[in-house]
Structure 1
Amino acid sequence: MLSRALFYLPLDATESEGDRRVYAIDVPYWQRIATEDGNGKAHLYVDGRHHSVSTFPAAFPVEGGVIEVKPSAFGLRRCHYVPENGPERQLLPDSHSAEGRRARLDQEHPARGRLLGLLSLLVILLAVLLGVPQILEYLTEIPPIAERFGRFTSPINFPWWGNVLIGLAAATASVERATRLRYSWLDSMAQ
């Protein structure tokens, strides 16, 4: 469930090609860990057959437009179909993927979905507010920075296990946001 992202784009095909084409984007998250550059790849399937592969950011030309795929640190930042004319739209997540389960929660229980989204945002905000002063204190201990700007003493000092818990909470909240393809500068700070 958390090892890959799988999104679909059903498109009406031209009359000569048949009724409908189904494009699928498969992103194995483990590839990003296993590669030297940490970049990973996205795979395009057409009607269940492997069609092409691309490194990130990926742009797959398909009938009538392009499928754009961009990763984030915790999942995907973007997986959209951009037609030649008309508005872009997000691809549909597979129902068994984390993204599909999160979309189903939003559809079946909208109030719970909004609450979960709000909680994840609050956790990330709290982690940033608690973490930034501590990071500034460590940075201002570096002699060249201390000489130029002076030393900063953080009003917040947690033990190492407290900082680990804050980091895990921020990572969990960022994964939740990634399952909805939500991404902002806060998510990059939570890394």
Structure 2
Amino acid sequence: MQRVKPGDGRALKRFRWWQSLSRALFHLRLMDGDSGQTVYSVDVRHQQHSSSSGRVVAHLYLDGRHHAESTVPAVFPVQGGTVEVRASTVGLKRCHYVTAEGAEFQLVPDPASAEGRRARLDRSHPALSRCMGFLSGTVLVVGVVLLALQLAEQITRDPEGVAQYAGTLTSPIDLSGWANTVVGLCTVAASTERALRLRYNWLLDGAAG
């Protein structure tokens, strides 16, 4: 919270289709007993970084006006709790409302955003959505296994190092340069798909990033 800076009151800009891979926009609607409904919006431009820290900046809007900003990971004080925002190398891994009692609720993605379209696919075609989720998870598992085998082979290659204690390991899978490139692209795509659903695992998605 110490990194949170006050906003300048500017209006929230509408999400454009060409921002699908560079921007995330989520909303939180809370009922206020006095004024009705209060709308908080979290706007993250993945390419926008703080000049001092180099970290991604998250912006909080209140009823369409710039209310606060912070580098991520960010914790914004809001009505009845806080909004927590965390980013990965391919998108967001957390954008949740945490109440004072400790309950957690994921914010709703803007319908025009990539996250919003992914959520709409999940609602309209749940079987296809589950299949895509399973496929992305499988791709990441395969990518982690291949990476681990290649790292183990590199580490045990030096006869005066680990090899003298554990022996030399030769990976049973020998990928060419172009094959490694394809695997890398597939893992990035899989992590991106998971990021659209705010799914993150430190081993699977962290290795891909």
Answer yes or no: same fold by TM over 0.5: yes
Verify: 1:168 aligned to 2:185, yes or no: yes
**Per-residue CA distance 1:27-81 (angstroms, 9 max, x = gap):** 110124x857542111100011111111111000001110011112211111000
In 2, the alpha carbon distance for the partners of 1:84 and 1:36 equals: 32
Whichever residue aligns with residue 48 of structure 2, its letter is Q
Mapped to 2, the partners of 1:26 and 1:140 lie a distance apart of 46
Question: Residue type of the partner of 1:93?
Answer: P
The offset of 1:163, in angstroms, is 0.4
For 1:170, give the aligned amino acid. Answer: T
Q: Which amino acid aligns with 1:71?
A: A
Alpha-carbon offset, residue 98 of structure 1: 1.0
CA root-mean-square deviation: 1.8
Whole-angstrom distance in 2 between the partners of 1:148 and 1:27:
48
Amino acid across the alignment from 1:189: A
SS at match of 1:52: strand
* Aligned-partner Cα distance in 2 for 1:121–1:7: 24
1:8 corresponding residue in structure 2: 27
Residue correspondence of structure 1 range 84-163 to structure 2 within 5 A: 84-85=100-101, 87-141=103-157, 144-146=161-163, 149-163=166-180
Cα distance in 2, alignment partners of residues 157 and 120 from structure 1 = 23
**Matched pairs, number:** 188
Amino acid at match of 2:122: D
Higher-helix-fraction structure? 1
Percent of aligned pairs with the same amino acid: 49
**Which amino acid is the alignment partner of residue 125 of structure 1?**
V
Partner of 1:41: 57
Q: Which residue of 1 aligns with 2:94?
A: 78
User: Paired residue for 2:206?
Assistant: 188
The runs of 5 or more residues in structure 1 that have no matched partner are: none
Classify 1:155/1:37 alpha carbon distance in 2 versus 1 (closer, same or farther; 3 Å).
farther
Indicate the larger mover: 104-113 or 138-147: 138-147
Change (3 A) 1:37 1:151: farther
Q: Secondary structure at the match of 1:152?
A: coil
Q: Per the alignment, in what secondary structure is the counterpart of residue 48 of structure 2?
A: helix
Distance in 1 of aligned mates of 2:24 and 2:122: 18
State the Cα deviation string for residues 110-147 of structure 1 (Å, max 9, x = none).
11111110111111111112221112212333564445
Letter of the 2:88 counterpart: S
